[in-house]
Amino acid sequence: MHKVIFDTDPGIDDAMALLFLHQHPDIDLIGITTVFGNASIETTTRNALYLKQVWNIDAPVARGLGETFDPSRPHVNWPTEIHGHDGLGNIGVPERIDLDVDPRPAHRFIIETVRANPGEVTIVAVGRMTNLALALREDPDVAVLVKDVVIMGGAFDVPGNITPAAEANIHGDPDAADVTMMAPWPVTVVGLDVTTKTVMTRKLMAEIAAAGGERAALLARISQFYIEFYEQHVEDGMVVHDSCACVYVVAPHLFETRRGAIRVVCGGIADGQTIQKPDSQSFPESPWDDLPSQNVCVGVDADAVLALIAETIGRAA
């Protein structure tokens, strides 16, 4: 059983990923921590509480701080054209959800939960890496107590999606991502190199909705807005970025990985670019030296990933 903390900015593809984690039999979802990105921290936290309520999820929700690791960074606008004004496809999420958030800020929730379960917790982070970097700053020793960190973010051998150089989750807080990649915990990055190949068609989404009862039907309703946005990028359907990271936790054999230290460009025209120094190559002295070797996903069996997502979230509760 994988004990998972899900660090997320719901977000439409985040919602699918949350349902996957909630319904997969080998995953014990022990916490949801929120970060801003697809919408403000107020909205992403409200959405996490909403999904917890409607999908009957036990895990507590802890709210992130709502500013970048370096607070002087300029604000990047919310991507309302992708996720809607409510972050969940404009389905009309209630303004207030009658559930409490955990009293701890997200990064402290991460620290205390990892310390209570040493060597057992996998952190799946599918938004900006702000909470992870704050946890490392407050308690650097926590890194060696984490089992695994799986991240959706970055673009290594392909262009970015928010600039030609950068993917949105990394671009939203590059300093936090750089700290996260350099820490002595095992990181696997599931970035655009593989997620953009993993496209759920409208037909598959409709089949999941038909098979999966009310939970899947709500997910399908939330996803329509995102599918319409993706019409300009893919022939049919939606790129399931965040679910790919969740699938990696239970089925890493569906991905091909490359090992090497990772750095993130902070500032300039390539702000947020992720660059790996493959272990198989040597260079003169560089800022990648003496850093932990991390995993970057460079290949994916997209059909098998989609089949596993469909089987998991298409399971009626």
Q: Would you please indicate which residues are annotated as catalytic (active-site) residues?
A: 241
In angstroms, what is the minimal distance from the CB of 254 to ligand BDR? 19
Q: Which is nearer to ligand BDR, 13 or 86 (CB)?
A: 13
69 vs 237: CA distance, rounded Å: 34
In angstroms, what is the minimal distance from the CB of 105 to ligand BDR? 21
**Strands (DSSP E) along 148-285, which ranges?**
148-152, 187-190, 199-200, 238-239, 255-264, 274-278
11 touches ligand BDR (CB under 6 A): yes
160 vs 313: CA distance, rounded Å: 28
Q: Which is nearer to ligand BDR, 76 or 250 (CB)?
A: 76
Q: Which is nearer to ligand BDR, 167 or 175 (CB)?
A: 167
56 vs 77: CA distance, rounded Å: 31
- Choose the one of ligand BDR, Ca ion, none that binds residue 168, judging by a C-beta under 5 to 8 angstroms depending on kind: ligand BDR
227 touches ligand BDR (CB under 6 A): no
In angstroms, what is the minimal distance from the CB of 293 to Ca ion? 26
Q: Shortest CA distance to 128 belongs to which of 113, 106, 143?
A: 106
Q: Which is nearer to ligand BDR, 76 or 211 (CB)?
A: 76
List binders of ligand BDR among 19-38 (CB under 6 A): 38
- Choose the one of ligand BDR, Ca ion, none that binds residue 193, judging by a C-beta under 5 to 8 angstroms depending on kind: none
13 touches ligand BDR (CB under 6 A): yes
Taking CB under 6 A as the rule, which mask of x and - marks residues 65-94 in contact with ligand BDR?
--------------x--x------------
241 touches ligand BDR (CB under 6 A): yes
List binders of ligand BDR among 169-198 (CB under 6 A): 169
CB within 8 Å of 54: residues ≥ 6 apart: 215, 218
Which pairs with CB-CB distance under 8 Å and at least 24 residues apart come from 252-258? 252/188, 254/300, 254/301, 254/304, 254/305, 254/308, 255/190, 255/194, 255/297, 255/299, 255/300, 255/301, 256/297, 256/298, 256/299, 256/300, 257/188, 257/295, 257/296, 257/297, 257/298, 258/295, 258/296, 258/298
Q: Which of 242, 272, 297, 310 binds ligand BDR (CB under 6 A)?
A: 242
Binding-residue total with ligand BDR (CB under 6 A): 14
14 vs 190: CA distance, rounded Å: 14
Q: Which residue is nearest to ligand BDR (CB)?
A: 168
- Compute, in degrees rounded to 10, the torsion defined by CA atoms 41, 46, 47, 49: 130
Q: Which of 2, 4, 6, 14 binds ligand BDR (CB under 6 A)?
A: 14
11 cis-preceded (ω within 30 degrees of 0): yes
Beta carbons within 10 angstroms of residue 259's beta carbon:
13
Judged by CB under 6 A, the stretch of 114-122, 165-173, 290-298, 302-310 that binds ligand BDR is: 165-173
Footprint on this chain of ligand BDR (rule: CB under 6 A): 11, 13-14, 38, 79, 82, 126, 152, 161, 167-169, 241-242
